[in-house]
Amino acid sequence: MSQFSAPIAEQIWDMKYRLKSADGEALDGTVSDSWRRVARALAKVEDTPKEWEDKFYSALEDFKFLPAGRILAGAGTDRSVTLFNCFVMGTIPDSMGGIFEMLKEAALTMQQGGGIGYDFSTIRPKGALVEGVAADASGPLSFMDVWDAMCRTIMSAGSRRGAMMATMRCDHPDIEDFIVAKQDAARLRMFNLSVLITDPFMEAVKSGGDWELKFNGRVYKTVKALDLWNKIMQSTYDFAEPGVIFIDRINTKNNLHYAETIAATNPCGEQPLPPYGACLLGSINMARLIEAPFDAAAKLNLDALDDLVRTAVRMMDNVVDASKFPLDAQRGEAKAKRRIGLGVTGLADALLMVGLRYGSEEAAAQTEAWMKQIARSAYLGSADLAAEKGAFPLFDREAFLASETMQEMDEDVRAAIGEKGIRNALLTSIAPTGTISLYAGNVSSGIEPVFAYSYKRKVLQKDGSRTEEEVVDYAVDLWREKFGDRAFPESFVNAQTLAPLDHVRMQAAAQKWIDSSISKTINCPEDISFEDFKEVYMAAWDQGCKGCTTYRPNDVTGSVLSVSEESEKTPEIDTGADVVYLAEPLNRPEALDGMTYKIKWPENEHAIYITINDVISNGERRPFEVFINSKNMEHYAWTLALTRMVSAVFRRGGDVSFVVEELKAVFDPRGGAWVRGKYIPSILAAIGSVIEQHMVAIGFIEGEGQYLKADPEATVVQMGGNAGGKSCPSCGTPGMRMVEGCMTCASCGHSKCG
């Protein structure tokens, strides 16, 4: 009997977490083998490894504790990958040499699979004097463009591109440009953006006061704080970015307030980290701990929760010693503070099982109580670990207990830490768990509400056939098993029906007992007024949240995937194949219309000629095949290969505009060239630009830099007409949605944030 509750869960394990040899042979025979591999690897640092291996295995069994994907996939293997999920890089020096040294470190981190965060507030503003070279500074946004190009090129471990977070202080002179930077559809596509909001700024917003934009003590401009706040709100209302991070609150409540200053977060925002800070993640599956679900006596087993949390803390602490790190500075930072991020998933399902409506005052109170129990168990367990193995090296008893977070802890917890010390400086965080939650039986993700009760998805079978499976929410599936087709009670709500302030209430309730932060998306209806939208952010501030991320569907960001209990459909996607086809290949007519373009690349003896032929399908003209020719024989092999590959993609139909993006992102390490006043990073990028020019000319896309598959603001042009919603850059399905601060595909699970 399979231990998976649905075929899609087994497929996720097989594709992402199952250990395989280089030639694809499965080394983990079952998911139990994967659990055993991880348990054994994390128990090796113990004095009695066999005893702890069995204890760790028991925690993993039945999907009760869910280490983050990097741990599941990497622990107990010989792969040179980090088991840590989150990195904030070093402080960027305000010098050319220092900036590019930071770029190098970022590339090395992404190469091992880490998502990174950066604070760009340390770079002097655009137009500032650069001493010694008689020039003006280009400003932080110009260097963000460099980072963006690097991220497009480096493939992170697991074949996912790295995700990045860029932050900027609300008093930086370039903050107004930062706020609107991603309104350019072709710019900074690999970044999430957030503004670092300070307490004095919020006070000025509420009082209507002035606000100085300054750098290194020099005031460049004075604005009205409320005007700047409204610019942030308007951009977020229209474009879903930037987010806001209440940075002073983060630093004040930080257990390590005496040893570090935080100015950036990881890509999804749940881990505020200092320079070179790193954190690993894991989640308690709340849905698996509910006894007698949907009965009057339904409750969460607190004894089981306590034991599981303590075991999870020990496992994650061992990861600090078992993991590799891209940089020595990251290893040193991790071992000096032994920071972990234990969170939850399946919270909304657990609330459903005990009869509480997500977003209600009762559900918020229960969430706060559960989070407090997790915090107590985590801190007491870490104190016991300190008595056994020693406190983290930078532990300062008096300063640690003086932090705001510790001041709010129960006295017995404070006393235990005062007596024994504590092994881990910070312990709790609520991270995005989209893929992990699906692997665990499609439990609700993180502390998010249930997004959809069910939807249809194509699953690749081992014999190569495809079957359509219904993916059902975990709690909904239990309800059906117990009550059949009986109507859902009023407590069953989903993300589409919740009021935005109900989301805020739940985030604030959980945040009270989370010492790091929370990845959470507050879904807003498309027709919410701008004033009501701003109220969401002010409520998040007033209720003690450390940040706020919203998602409002609109013409720019697209619509959230529409689902229902009776008919929840997504396009047929083969998510198990290396190449995803949206349709059968188009037939080639006898004659095709086309255009030929000439590229003269500097220092090349011969020009390159590109012919693009089109086909008419459903009344629309679309690219069908490409021919690339050059008399330079050094180009023969790669131009022939490119001709065949791009033509094969075009003939499959669907949204093929991603070909432009992929080609334009390629840079030549020997340097690019200036062509007609524009820098082109490689010959391949030049070919991509020609294909883009052709697509615009025939009306397949609307303009340069528009409607590319990795563009979160894109609306895809599909075969047979326009399809609403954004397209997934992995499988091409329309209907990307914001989950826990990151655009996520409901069909294949792809997430920009890894």
- Among candidate residues 86, 151, 170, 268, the one labeled active-site is 268
Residue in 452, 415, 425 with CA at minimum distance from that of residue 335: 425
Q: Check: CB of residue 426 under 8 Å from CB of residue 256.
A: yes
Show the 3-state SS of 156-176. ECCCEECCEEEEEECCCCCHH
61 catalytic, yes or no?
no
> How distant, in Å, are the alpha carbons of 55, 104, 609, 659, 675 from that of 672?
56, 19, 19, 20, 9
The 10 Å Cβ neighbour count of residue 527 is 9
Beta strands at 550-551 and 454-460: parallel, antiparallel or unpaired: unpaired
Three-state SS at 359: coil
Which helix or strand (DSSP H or E) is residue 551 part of?
A: strand 550-551
Rounded CA gap, 493 and 729, in Å? Answer: 30
Structure tokens at 236: 């977020």
Residue in 484, 489, 476, 487 with CA at minimum distance from that of residue 444: 476
- Chain centroid to Cα 67, Å, comes to 16
Three-state SS at 36: helix
In degrees and rounded to multiples of 5, residue 434 shows phi and psi of: -55, -55
The 10 Å Cβ neighbour count of residue 678 is 9
User: How big is the CA angle at 273 (ends 287 and 502), to the nearest 5 degrees?
Assistant: 40
Beta strands at 278-285 and 340-345: parallel, antiparallel or unpaired: parallel
Rounded CA gap, 578 and 323, in Å? Answer: 29
Residue in 526, 416, 389, 379 with CA at minimum distance from that of residue 45: 389
Structure tokens at 715: 């609306």
Residue in 613, 643, 646, 614 with CA at minimum distance from that of residue 629: 643
- Chain centroid to Cα 257, Å, comes to 27
Three-state SS at 342: strand
Q: Check: CB of residue 38 under 8 Å from CB of residue 63.
A: no
- Among candidate residues 270, 568, 692, 713, the one labeled active-site is 270
Beta strands at 243-246 and 191-197: parallel, antiparallel or unpaired: parallel
270 catalytic, yes or no?
yes
266 catalytic, yes or no?
yes
For residue 140, is the peptide bond before it cis, meaning its omega torsion is within 30 degrees of 0? no
- How many CA atoms does the CB half-sphere of 29 hold within 13 Å? 0
Q: Check: CB of residue 347 under 8 Å from CB of residue 431.
A: no
Spell out the residues 6+ positions from residue 472 whose beta carbon is closer than 8 angstroms to its own: 6, 442, 453, 454, 480
Rounded CA gap, 142 and 146, in Å? Answer: 7
- In the block, tokens 């065949």 appear at 644
Rounded CA gap, 253 and 375, in Å? Answer: 15
Residue in 10, 3, 84, 72 with CA at minimum distance from that of residue 41: 72
- Among candidate residues 266, 285, 442, 523, the one labeled active-site is 266
Burial code (b: 16+ CB inside 10 Å, e: under 16) for 393-418 equals ebbeeeebbebebbeebeeebbebbb
Burial classification of residue 523, based on how many CB atoms lie within 10 Å of its CB (0-12 exposed, 13-18 middle, 19 or more buried):
buried
> How distant, in Å, are the alpha carbons of 175, 221, 228, 541 from that of 224?
13, 10, 7, 19
**Active site residue ranges:** 266, 268, 270
